[in-house]
Structure 1
Amino acid sequence: MSSRTPDPRDPRPLIGEPLSLDLLNTRWRGTAEPNDLLKDRAGYEIWLSSAGLADRCTADGVSLAATRIAREALAAAAAEPAAPPPAATEELNEVLRHGRLRRELTPQGPADTLEVDSPAWLAAWLAVDDFLTLLRRSPDRIRSCADPDCILFFFDDSQNGRRRWHSMASCGNRAKAARHYARSKA
């Protein structure tokens, strides 16, 4: 993957998580209804740029549709990462069927080449493949924010593995303030 410098146009509150979770975080709570960065091609271009995929993936309607399919499958699987529901597993596998890694030995050494049946599936395939990597690494560290009003996901890479909030400054602070208020009223 190329650079992961967030696009300055990216309005999301949480950017830079592993690719699969970053794709899930293209939806976040708004004032009335959830915001969706992938509602149109312009937002998709911003996500590709922030994800470091703009030089590898085309931001057209077909690839946006494929990426939305991957996001829905990831959302269902991330809700229960230790044991994704069978329907979510099948949806993830359906995305993965659009590509494969070809391994070979080259004069420069071992090489992996990603082959997709259509360039439109590249971003979707990469995101789902990243999710498999996180599952191999530590499925219990794939988490949703503990704030019941927040819909963001993160990979807990803290030393003790006890992170609860996507951001202590926003969701964590609200929870602490609510607890303090409840204690002061008692």
Structure 2
Amino acid sequence: MPRSAADTRRFRHGAGRLALDFIRTLSRRGTPQEVEELPDAEALFAWVRQFGPGGGIVAVAPFAAVSVADARQLREAIHELIVVACRGEGLAAWRSVGRERVNRAAAAVTPAPAVDAWGRVRWSAPDPLSATLSLVARDAIDLVDSDAITRVRACAGPLCGALFLDESRPGTRRWCSMNTCGNRAKKQTGRTPKQNLHTAS
């Protein structure tokens, strides 16, 4: 996989699921300050290195040609899938074009682990990008097919737009992160009403 200055780029993590971390690469989604964090192949490679298993995966064949647009379309299809599931509309309400994208990504070969001669666990795949995106797509399908989908929340930060898995015992977490949106809300002293995708219209 090509390496460049983009290797130093760090993406937000901690949404609770790989699929939720991936869709956060469109930050401040739905606001006037929306930011595309995957503008080019270098950024996409950097995301794969950060979120791939074992801190990245090793290519065992030349890296395949990458369409960043395809990766972003997959991201939006996954976002749509999760929102549809959260709203209780039934997955049949999910657009067929999105379903085909996610299913196709999930069907790709996933990374394989192996222990090398030095006792290290190494992950490899013929195409590290499609392999990692396959993990993302599979995680999204697993999420919407599990009880955990009832714990997916939209951050209450008005300029955030991130989704996260609420793993708190009472299930009342409001912020994607107390270090960012939570602290920002405290500084503003005002309180934004809690957003819940499961009651959104």
Taking structure 1 as the reference length, the TM-score comes to 0.67
Shift of 1:70: 1.4
- Are 1:95 and 1:124, in contact at CA under 8 Å, matched by a contact in 2? no
Give me the whole-angstrom Cα distance separating, in 2, the residues matched to 1:59 and 1:22.
Answer: 23
The answer for unaligned runs of 5 or more in structure 1 is 1-6, 102-114, 182-186
Name the residue aligned to 1:112.
none
Shift of 1:169: 2.6
- Are 1:76 and 1:85, in contact at CA under 8 Å, matched by a contact in 2? no
Shift of 1:66: 3.2
SS at match of 1:97: helix
Name the residue aligned to 1:131.
140
SS at match of 1:172: helix
Name the residue aligned to 1:42.
42
Shift of 1:124: 2.8
- Are 1:23 and 1:127, in contact at CA under 8 Å, matched by a contact in 2? yes
From the superposition, tell whether residues 59 and 155 of structure 1 become closer, same or farther in structure 2 (CA, over 3 Å).
Answer: farther
1:95 paired with 2:97, answer no
Give me the whole-angstrom Cα distance separating, in 1, the residues matched to 2:131 and 2:72.
Answer: 12
Shift of 1:74: 1.3
What does the per-residue CA deviation read over 1:111-148, in whole Å, with 9 as the maximum and x for residues that have no partner? xxxx99x8764333321210122221411112221112
**What is the number of equivalent residue pairs in this alignment?**
160
- Are 2:45 and 2:129, in contact at CA under 8 Å, matched by a contact in 1? no
From the superposition, tell whether residues 71 and 180 of structure 1 become closer, same or farther in structure 2 (CA, over 3 Å).
Answer: closer
SS at match of 2:85: coil
Name the residue aligned to 1:184.
none
Amino acid at match of 2:132: A
The correspondence of residues 19-168 of structure 1 with structure 2, limited to 5 A, is 19-29=18-28, 33-52=33-52, 54-55=56-57, 61-62=65-66, 64-82=68-86, 83=88, 86-88=93-95, 91-98=98-105, 99=107, 121-135=130-144, 136-168=146-178
Name the residue aligned to 2:183.
173
The answer for unaligned runs of 5 or more in structure 2 is 1-6, 110-124, 192-201
- Are 2:52 and 2:132, in contact at CA under 8 Å, matched by a contact in 1? no
From the superposition, tell whether residues 39 and 97 of structure 1 become closer, same or farther in structure 2 (CA, over 3 Å).
Answer: same
Taking structure 2 as the reference length, the TM-score comes to 0.63
From the superposition, tell whether residues 159 and 123 of structure 1 become closer, same or farther in structure 2 (CA, over 3 Å).
Answer: same
From the superposition, tell whether residues 168 and 119 of structure 1 become closer, same or farther in structure 2 (CA, over 3 Å).
Answer: closer
Give me the whole-angstrom Cα distance separating, in 2, the residues matched to 1:19 and 1:52.
Answer: 9
- Are 1:28 and 1:34, in contact at CA under 8 Å, matched by a contact in 2? yes
Give me the whole-angstrom Cα distance separating, in 1, the residues matched to 2:37 and 2:9.
Answer: 11
Give me the whole-angstrom Cα distance separating, in 1, the residues matched to 2:46 and 2:20.
Answer: 16
